[in-house]
Amino acid sequence: MHNHTKETRMQRMSRHALLSTALACAAFAAQAQSTPEASSAPAPSAAPSSEAAPQAPAPNPAAEKALAQRFQALLAAFEGKAALPDAKTFTDDFNKQVNGDQMKQVFNDVHQSVGSCKVAAQMTSPTPYITSYLLQCDKAYVPMDIGIEEKAPYRVHSLLIRPGYWKK
């Protein structure tokens, strides 16, 4: 019986990995479209040492608030406490890569594998549009990354649920 449980968990995690890859592909596609081509960027020049290093984007309280709200809505859906946010919450590119049924399946598979989760830690990036969370779940720690658009309505353009770190 133990072997069957382990096999079932591996099948779920394999499906989770495939769908997480789809979520990641949506993230990379969105990022690639919003990032200028390297060939169009000016060549870097030697700067005098007195020049300041590139600065992080200015704080954007509205974006930070939207990012937190988007994450909380997704976490509630992941935990089964709320419905999955509708397609308008996500960018068109994201919706082309991952549909609601696929996302529900990922959430269901991961939740069944790791149990209930809560936020253990948050790591913010220099930009107010991307953040990473570490979920402390019953059976594992699960990293989750989320990114939103830089302008209102701050739709989700990337969501990555990384494989969990199993507790002993």
Asked, for residue 48, whether it belongs to a domain, the answer is no
Tell me, what's the pLDDT at 14? 42
Element (H, E) at 76: helix 61-78
Q: For position 60, what pLDDT does the model report?
A: 87
- Is 51 within a domain? no
**Cβ-Cβ contacts under 8 Å for 109 (sequence gap 6 or more):** 12, 13, 15, 16, 19
What is residue 116's DSSP assignment?
A: S
Residue 53 lies in a domain: no
DSSP secondary-structure letter at 152?
T
Residue 71 maps to a domain: yes
Q: Is residue 44 part of a domain?
A: no
Give the list of residues 6+ apart from residue 74 with CB closer than 8 angstroms, or none: 84, 85, 146, 156, 159
Give this prediction's pTM. 0.69
What pLDDT was estimated at residue 159? 95
| Residue ranges making up the domain that contains 120 | 2-33+60-166
Q: Can you give the pLDDT at residue 136?
A: 97
Q: How many CB atoms lie within 10 A of CB 161?
A: 24
Whole-angstrom distance, CA of residue 98 vs CA of residue 90? 10
Q: Is residue 67 part of a domain?
A: yes
pLDDT at residue 72 in the model? 97
Find the CATH number of the domain harbouring 100: 3.10.450
Please check whether residue 74 lies inside any domain of the structure: yes
pLDDT of residue 168: 82
Domain total in the chain: 1
Asked whether residue 78 is assigned to any structural domain, the reply reads yes
What tens-digit pLDDT sequence spans the chain (168 residues)? 444 444 444 444 444 444 444 454 444 444 434 444 333 334 444 444 445 556 766 778 999 999 999 999 999 999 999 999 999 999 999 999 999 999 999 999 999 999 999 999 999 777 789 999 999 999 999 999 999 999 999 999 999 999 989 988
Contacts for 126-130 with beta carbons within 8 Å, 24 or more apart? 126/56, 126/57, 127/56, 127/57, 128/57, 128/59, 128/60, 128/61, 128/63, 128/64, 128/67, 129/60, 129/63, 129/67, 129/154, 130/67, 130/158
Is there a cis peptide before residue 59, judged by omega within 30 degrees of 0?
Answer: no
